[in-house]
């Protein structure tokens, strides 16, 4: 069974630009969660999507948004990039809502560098 | 007080010994607990999930949960050099919170 896939694996952008990251969950998984990982802040929850609806949201500004498609694939968008957005962005999928305790499995991540 | 706390380490354990990793949490309503292993430059990998008080064993790994004392631990028996990694504790109550991780180093 294929795991969670994320594209692209690496991105370099400049301040003020926007970026879109993509995540394909494990087959049969309907929930996709997004996380930001930095050395200083650790792994922080961004949001979770289930059945094309955002079900849970972390404490990030509105520049961070996402969506989920009918095939459960998800995209995350960051607008007006700032230097502090440089991080590893991880996507995780689960059969049901992760927020109620379903096991999550992570993709390889997208390394975003903002110059 | 952080919502999920882990000792950052590094925790150095001799090969073959038992490694003990601890995690405390502040939300008494927390119901689901997970341990992930993350190698340098890689994404987190799920090791164990635990939902009820007591011990749960899977191979060389044992997760222990004590909701009254608000801690969850991970024991690794017969530690191997390949166990050297950062171990992340995740706790779910109304939201999903990860600890900052404990770096474990297994010395030959």
Q: What are the DSSP calls for B4-56, one per residue?
A: EEE----EEEETTS-EEEEEEES-TT--EEEEEEE-TTS--EEEEEE-SSEEE
Interface probe for A, chosen from B96, B100, B102, B103 (most Cβ of A below 10 Å), is: B96
Give the SS3 label for residue B107. strand
- The closest of B87, B53, B92, B58 to A103, measured between CA atoms, is B92
Is A56 near chain B, with CB under 8 Å? yes
Say yes or no: B35 contacts chain A, CB-CB below 8 A: no
Residue B21 has a pLDDT of 97
Whole-angstrom Cα distance, residue A108 to residue B82? 19
The DSSP-derived string for A42-107 is EEEEEEEEETTEEEEE-S--TTEEEEE-TTS-EEEEE-S--GGG-EEEEEEEESS-GGGT---EE-
Does A26 touch chain B if contact means CB atoms closer than 8 Å? no
Nearest to B40 by CA among B97, B10, B84, B100: B84
Question: What was the pLDDT predicted at A99?
Answer: 87
Q: Are strands A110-114 and A87-94 parallel, antiparallel or unpaired?
A: antiparallel
**SS3 at position B11:** strand
Closest C-alpha to B101, from B30, B45, B26: B45
Of B43, B96, B100, the CB nearest to A107: B43
- Residue B96 touches chain A, beta carbons under 8 Å: yes
Q: In chain B, which residues have their Cβ closer than 8 Å to the Cβ of A45? A: 95-98
Q: What are phi and psi of A51, to 5 degrees?
A: 50, 45
CA B30 to chain A, closest CA, distance in angstroms equals 10
Contact B89, B34 (CB under 8 A): yes
How close is the nearest chain A Cα to the Cα of B46, in Å?
Answer: 7
Residue with tokens 């689901």: B32
B32/A101 CB distance under 8 A: yes
Q: Which tens digits make up the pLDDT trace of A22-80?
A: 999 999 999 999 999 999 889 999 999 999 999 999 999 999 999 999 999 999 999 99
Q: Smallest Cα–Cα separation from B49: which of A45, A94, A23, A42? A: A94
Predicted local distance difference test score (pLDDT) of residue B1: 66
Rounded to whole angstroms, how far apart are CA atoms B108 and B106?
Answer: 7
Tens-digit pLDDT string for chain B (108 aa) = 679 999 888 999 999 999 999 999 999 999 999 999 999 999 999 999 999 999 999 999 999 999 999 999 999 999 999 999 999 999 998 788 999 999 999 999
Q: Quick one: pLDDT at residue A40?
A: 87
| Predicted pLDDT of residue B48 | 96
pLDDT at position A88 over 90: yes
């Amino acid at each position: 069974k294929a795991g969670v896939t994320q594209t692209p694996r690496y991105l370099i952008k400049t301040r003020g630009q926007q970026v879109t990251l993509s995540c394909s969950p494990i087959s049969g998984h309907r929930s996709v969660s997004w996380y930001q990982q930095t050395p200083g802040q650790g792994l922080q929850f961004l949001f979770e999507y289930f059945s094309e609806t955002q079900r849970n949201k972390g404490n990030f500004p509105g520049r961070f948004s996402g969506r989920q498609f009918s095939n459960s694939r998800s995209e995350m968008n960051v607008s007006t990039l700032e230097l502090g957005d440089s991080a590893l962005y991880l996507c995780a999928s689960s059969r049901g809502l992760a927020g109620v305790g379903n096991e999550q499995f992570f993709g390889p991540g997208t390394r975003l560098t903002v110059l | 007080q952080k919502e999920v706390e882990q000792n950052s380490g590094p925790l150095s354990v001799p090969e073959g010994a038992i490694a003990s990793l601890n995690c405390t949490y502040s939300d008494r309503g927390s119901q689901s607990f997970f341990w992930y292993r993350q190698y340098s430059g890689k994404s987190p990998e799920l090791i164990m999930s635990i939902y009820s008080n007591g011990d749960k064993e899977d191979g060389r790994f044992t997760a222990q949960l004590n909701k009254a004392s608000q801690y969850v631990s991970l024991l690794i028996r017969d530690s191997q050099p390949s166990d050297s990694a950062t171990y992340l504790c995740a706790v779910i109550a109304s939201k999903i919170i990860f600890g900052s991780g404990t770096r474990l180093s297994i010395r030959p």
